[in-house]
A = this chain, B = another copy of it.
Amino acid sequence: MNPTFPFQPQNATAKKRKVAIICSHGGLDEVYPAFILANAARMSDIDAMIFFTFYGLDAITEDKVDHLHVNMAGNASSPIPTMLAGLPGMDALAGKMMRTKMRKLDIPPAREMLKILDEAGCELYACHLAMDMMGLDKKDLVPQVKDVITAGDFYDLSEGAQIIFT
């Protein structure tokens, strides 16, 4: 006899916490908050999923995942004056600087983070509509992406979750 039996199903529903992250931007500095929040959720035994949409698709696109830029011109906190931030290559340079800093702190690069998240049980999804807009196909995405789903599917998967739109 399991003494907790009568409360089990109820608790199971109430207790299993879930986080559904929507990643809608593709900058290195915009993607990492999503990655870190997803990873921390799994470390805390919270269910986690990321739904990549709009520019966020860059983070799971084979051609782009290794070259995510840092958006300097559109960043009020940037130490670089906006005028200079507009110079060609500046975003890439900022991305390089951020990557160096991250490496020193042992934060893995984006592609590696996706593998870690996948192995930790975080489910990665791509937005169907955004894929159509960008002219992308499932084969253009990293293999860790579980499925291409609609916003309606996202709602099915995020029932009862804390939704975090990044």
A interface list, Cβ under 8 A from B: 17, 19, 22, 24-30, 32-33, 36-37, 39-41, 43-44, 46, 53-55, 58, 68-77, 81-83, 85-88, 90-91, 101-102, 105, 107, 129, 132-133, 150-152, 154-156, 158-159, 161-166
Q: What does DSSP make chain A's interface, helix, strand, loop or mixed?
A: mixed
Interface residue from B28, B41, B54, B77 paired with A25 (Cβ < 8 Å): B77
Contact, CB under 8 Å: A30 / B129: no
Q: Contact check: which of B46, B58, B86, B87 meets A73 at CB < 8 Å?
A: B86
Are A68 and B76 in contact (CB-based, < 8 A)?
A: yes
A-B contact pairs, 29 of them (CB 8 A): A17-B159, A19-B163, A22-B33, A22-B37, A26-B76, A26-B77, A27-B76, A27-B77, A30-B76, A36-B129, A37-B151, A40-B151, A40-B155, A43-B152, A55-B77, A70-B76, A71-B76, A73-B85, A74-B74, A74-B75, A74-B76, A81-B88, A82-B85, A82-B86, A82-B90, A83-B88, A105-B129, A105-B133, A163-B163
Q: How far is the CA of A85 from the CA of B69 in the complex (A)?
A: 15
- Complex alpha-carbon distance, A139 and B91, angstroms: 31
Number of copies: 3
Q: How far is the CB of A96 from chain B (nearest CB, A)?
A: 13
Flag if B29 contacts A155 (CB, 8 Å).
Answer: no
